């Protein structure tokens, strides 16, 4: 392949682009090697899905009473409003009850 027909600016531009591709490739391979050597999940799992019977009722209400129109929790709903994952750890029960009232 001949590059003589390219202008200097084009050579620099494509050169930078090629370098970025090479860098992305190397980064990807390095990350995959690093990840394959970890013996724990790469990201801490902060959301728990093990519902009590009472929690299952709450989850059902959350999905059927229109809360998911604006909120998201446990992979249900939209990103429009406040994400409610972990809300029970950030707020007290009294706060939530009076807020919802």
> Is residue 66 at the binding interface for ligand HEC, with CB under 6 A as the rule?
yes
- When computed from its CA atoms, the radius of gyration of the chain, rounded to whole angstroms, is 25
Among 55, 59, 74, 87, interactor with ligand HEC by CB under 6 A: 87
CB atoms under 10 Å from CB of 75, counted, come to 8
Contacts of residue 101, defined as CB under 8 A and 6 or more positions apart, other chains included, come to: none
Interface with ligand HEC, residue 74, by CB under 6 A: no
Q: Name which position in 55, 72, 74, 96 contacts ligand HEC (CB under 6 A).
A: 96
CB count in 10 Å sphere of residue 67: 17
Token pair for 7: 């202008």
Nearer to ligand HEC, 2 or 65 (CB): 65
**Least Å from the CB of residue 63 to ligand HEC:** 10
Cβ–Cβ contacts within 10 Å for residue 74, how many?
A: 15
Binding residues (CB under 6 A) for ligand HEC: these are: 62, 65-67, 69-71, 81-82, 84, 87, 91, 96, 99-100
């Amino acid at each position: 392949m001949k590059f003589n027909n390219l202008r200097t600016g084009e050579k620099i531009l494509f050169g930078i682009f090629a370098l970025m591709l090479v860098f992305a490739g190397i980064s990807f391979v390095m990350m995959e090697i690093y990840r394959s050597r970890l013996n724990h999940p790469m990201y801490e799992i902060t959301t728990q899905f093990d519902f009590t019977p009472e929690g299952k009722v709450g989850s059902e209400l959350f999905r059927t009473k229109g809360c998911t129109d604006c909120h998201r929790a446990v992979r249900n709903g939209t990103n429009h409003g406040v994400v409610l994952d972990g809300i029970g750890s950030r707020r007290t029960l009294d706060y939530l009850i009076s807020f919802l009232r």
